[in-house]
Amino acid sequence: MKEDMKSIVILGGGTAGWIAANLIALHWGDRDIDITLVESPDISIIGVGEGSTPPLKIFLELIGLKESDWMARCDATYKVGITFRDWSTRPGFEEYFHPFLCQPDEFSVPAFFHNSFLRRKGVDLDGHPSQFFLGWELAKERLAPVAPPNFPFEMNYGYHFNSALLGEFLQDWAAKRGVKYKQATVTDAVLDERGYIDYLKTDSEETIKADFYVDSTGFRSQLLQQALGVPFDSCEDMLFNDSAVVFPTEPEENPTPQTISTALKYGWVWKIPLTSRFGNGYVYSSKYVDDDDAEMELRQHLGLVDSDIEARKLRFKVGRVREHWAKNCLAVGLSQGFIEPLEATALDMVQETVARFIEAANKGNFTDQYRDEFNQRISRRFDAVRDYIVCHYRINTRTDTEYWLDAGPKGKVSSSLRELLTAWVSGKNITDELERQNLDAYFPSVSWNCLLGGKGIYPTDEQVRPGNELAHKYDLEKISRYLKGCALNFKPHKEQLRVVRNAA
């Protein structure tokens, strides 16, 4: 990195490239830095990635967008969390909801922690997570999470959207902030004597030169992995899925504002509501099922065996690069790594990478001083997400295929996840354990409690004892009445989408 940095080239115009362009323009727009995004007209974007987490809302607001500016144009709907279905065969735990926490939950989460903790210790309490969260009430009742002005609590939510349309929208927005755009296919990066990227060659014999490069070329990772040779550490020994088959279905007028993830024989299917369609995608391992059989299983699951709509098939690799920022190049998006999309964390990783990079560059006065610290921080975040996703598989109880048997409890786990699981089953405080290991770098304790409690990693009904009055201090009926009372303030999802559309 150069103290007198004058130009940045962002190579790749998928969602990652355009998020990076907008954030860099926002933070460094007044620094007299020329920002150009270069995109190949011949290499398409991946075109999946339709679910988000709440930080996307923060990003969109940060760059100055209102929901009425972008939601209707990107076929977007609201998202309050994810329902996981058929991952566990434990009676009563075949389904659970992982919410995006919002302020009203502050009153009910202590009861969840209490019940979950004592249930682990063998007291006969109900520790199933869904019932403790307003998001679940909204999802069930198909209400949008947008609070009316007189509602005294802050809400927190994500979105579903068409990723190609969001990319186009962010492109227009970045152009308004002075980001230049150029179409060219880069064939090679020429390095200088220090091994830094000097300039790029294109297929039309043109050269493109900048002081700093952002690699957002997707799985190709043209600059960071290919040109600079930064190693990629795969985690396919822990996460087996490497493929997806994707299929649209007809939209619903008032969809439930959540993603639904249903486990099938060789992986799981997402169902994401957009205003124009449902996006459905079966994420599976090609080592256990061939592509045609996976497509047929998805068609059967969707009741579309005879439909002539074509499915799209994709391959992906899981893992992360060893350094996200190397020499004068920062990788963002799929070029820096990918953990399968079970919790829709990829765009959040893009935002975090760019935001922390800007912070590190500013702090180091545009030198490499904080590069190592930055790289460690982003890698830790990747690994924390990986452990959470791996945990989904290790605690599953399906035995219907080799896939689930191999992915189950006997599969490989990191030492940090092993310690956490040990803490859980031995009744220790896992909030402390998460902090000790910095495993809450991404998912907080409540998410881990949802995952482990939601899949029923508790003593069974036969193993528990009644417990004293103090153990039963929370009245679940009262909590249910409170959450239902809160939900009365919210509009049906379809109505809120109409309000947003009309305001556009």
Ligand X SMILES: Cc1cc2nc3c(=O)[nH]c(=O)nc-3n(C[C@H](O)[C@H](O)[C@H](O)COP(=O)(O)OP(=O)(O)OC[C@H]3O[C@@H](n4cnc5c(N)ncnc54)[C@H](O)[C@@H]3O)c2cc1C
Interacting residues toward ligand X by CB under 6 A = 11-17, 38-40, 43, 45-46, 48-52, 163, 185-186, 216-218, 220, 222, 244, 281, 283, 314, 316, 333-335, 341, 344, 346-347
For ligand X, the closer of residues 77 and 216 by Cβ is: 216
Distance CA 144, CA 446 (A): 22
Nearest residue (CB) to ligand X, 366 versus 403: 403
Instruction: State the minimum distance, in angstroms, from the CB of residue 246 to ligand X.
Output: 7
From CA 46, how far away is CA 333, in angstroms rounded? Answer: 11
Closer of 52 and 130 to ligand X (Cβ): 52
Judged by beta carbon, residue 50 or residue 105, the one nearer ligand X is: 50
Q: How far is the CB of 335 from ligand X (least distance, A)?
A: 6
Closest approach, Cβ 99 to ligand X, in A, equals 17
Q: How far is the CB of 247 from ligand X (least distance, A)?
A: 12
DSSP letter (8 states) at residue 223: I
Cα 324 to Cα 232: distance, rounded to the nearest angstrom: 10
Burial of 308 (0-12, 13-18, 19+ CB in 10 A): exposed
Say how many C-beta atoms besides its own lie within 10 A of residue 225's C-beta.
22
Minimum gap (Å) between residue 272 Cβ and ligand X = 7
The encoded tokens of residue 243 equal: 């493929």
Question: Distance between alpha carbon 445 and the CA centroid of its chain, in Å?
Answer: 17
CB of 56 to ligand X, least distance (A): 8
- Counting Cα atoms < 13 Å in the Cβ hemisphere of 101 gives 17
Strand partners, 261: 84, 270
Identify the active-site residue in 79, 271, 327, 455: 79
DSSP collapsed to 3 states, 170-218: HHHHHHHCCCEEEECCEEEEEECCCCCEEEEEECCCCEEECCEEEECCH
Please name the residues in contact with 60: beta carbons below 8 A apart, sequence gap of 6 or more.
70
CB atoms within 10 A of CB 305: 9
Q: Which is nearer to ligand X, 33 or 332 (CB)?
A: 332
The phi-psi region of residue 190 (left if phi > 0; otherwise alpha if psi is between -120 and 50; otherwise beta) is: beta
Is 48 or 298 the residue whose CB approaches ligand X more closely? Answer: 48
Q: Is 410 a known active-site residue? A: no
The end-to-end CA distance of the chain, in Å, is 41
Positions marked catalytic: 79
